[in-house]
Structure 1
Amino acid sequence: MEALRKIADGLIGLSAAIGSLGLLVVVGVILVDVIGRAFGSPLFGSQDMVTMGMVIIVFGGMALCDRTGGHVAVDVFENHFPRGFNRAVDVIAALLGAIIFFGIAWTIWESSQISRMLNLSTNLLRLPKAWFQWALMGFAIVTALGMLLRAAELAFRGRDIRGESHSGEEPL
């Protein structure tokens, strides 16, 4: 299972790196567009680039958010329940999250087929929408697989990776 965790962390890191690159591109586009507007010449297609870039930013970082425990969690009663019950709740939550992200991936796949059939593209730059839908689908699958692995580690090993750094060392 350690080799599987290493592969998963690599995919999660790649996903986050792509999301980070998307963030840099979007910031650059906005900067150029704002400066251009000040001189009466805004960047053509900036709305398309920012809109599609947000897909990459949000879903690129989703798997890392789950890996580090960044999702919203309500733990008001956690201290009042036995440890085994809390672990079971965490396993169920991870499995439900995986189902939701697999559902997102499947829905986006179907939507991309419609986009290809109708040749849908962005408004100004005419970038094919299917490309961004495929990226979103890939990020959703990485997130779902990460959640499945987290559920398996919790269920079979009692290990919650959300409290660990990527190198396996305890955080400071």
Structure 2
Amino acid sequence: MLIAMRKVADGLIALSATVGSLGLIFEVVIILADVIGRAFGAPIYGSQDIITMSMVMVVFGAMALCDRQGGHIAVDLFERSYPALMNRVIDILAALLGAVIFMGIAYAINESAKLSVMLNLSTNLLRLPKAWFQNGLSVFALITAAGMALRAIELILSGRDIRKGEAA
């Protein structure tokens, strides 16, 4: 059961990272074309809107992968002096706290998206509905929260930290 959940989670994390990567490529192309266009007096209309909204995909699309690979900042000054069990408990609590934080982000952004729909909010120039990007951010935050929660469950049940590729 845990292995199946990990496969699904890894698939969602890979999909999320792929969307983030495509957002980054798209953003770089838009910036490059806009800079070249500005040099010739013809910048891309709405490039700021596109860049701002694609940044949502870049940052939050990669967040789950960052956690999966252990890329988040960790202060381990006392890790060597703590017993292994205490380090494991700290890792579990950190994963659970991260999951709660990302669920809170998803909830807050989802509520914001509802307001955006109600008020018909859109980007400044292109009039792209902000709710589209807010809903995407909310999904990415939920994927990150699910990955962190699964990591906590794996640490509790098996002692295996997926970020380190080790088994207890």
Q: TM-score, normalised by structure 1?
A: 0.95
Distance in 2 (CA, whole Å) between partners of 1:56 and 1:18 is: 7
Cα displacement (A) at 1:29: 0.3
Q: Are 1:33 and 2:49 an aligned pair?
A: no
What are structure 2's unaligned runs of at least 5 residues? Answer: none
Number of matched pairs: 165
1:167 aligned partner: none
2:149 aligned partner: 148
Within a 5 Å distance, the mapping from 1:107-146 to structure 2 comes to 107-146=108-147
Cα displacement (A) at 1:134: 0.3
2:24 aligned partner: 23
1:52 aligned partner: 53
Structure 1 segments, 4+ long, off by >6 Å, are: none
Distance in 2 (CA, whole Å) between partners of 1:57 and 1:103 is: 20
What are structure 1's unaligned runs of at least 5 residues? Answer: 165-169
2:50 partner amino acid: M
2:4 aligned partner: 3
Cα displacement (A) at 1:156: 1.1
Matched position secondary structure for 2:163: helix
Q: Are 1:87 and 2:88 an aligned pair?
A: yes
Cα displacement (A) at 1:87: 0.3
Matched position secondary structure for 2:86: helix
Distance in 2 (CA, whole Å) between partners of 1:26 and 1:159 is: 37
2:79 aligned partner: 78
Matched position secondary structure for 1:159: coil
Q: TM-score, normalised by structure 2?
A: 0.97
Distance in 2 (CA, whole Å) between partners of 1:3 and 1:106 is: 27
Matched position secondary structure for 1:163: coil
Distance in 2 (CA, whole Å) between partners of 1:113 and 1:13 is: 28
Distance in 2 (CA, whole Å) between partners of 1:139 and 1:74 is: 25
1:90 partner amino acid: D
Q: Percent identity?
A: 65
Deviations 1:8-54 (A, max 9, x none): 00000000000000001000000100000000111100000000000
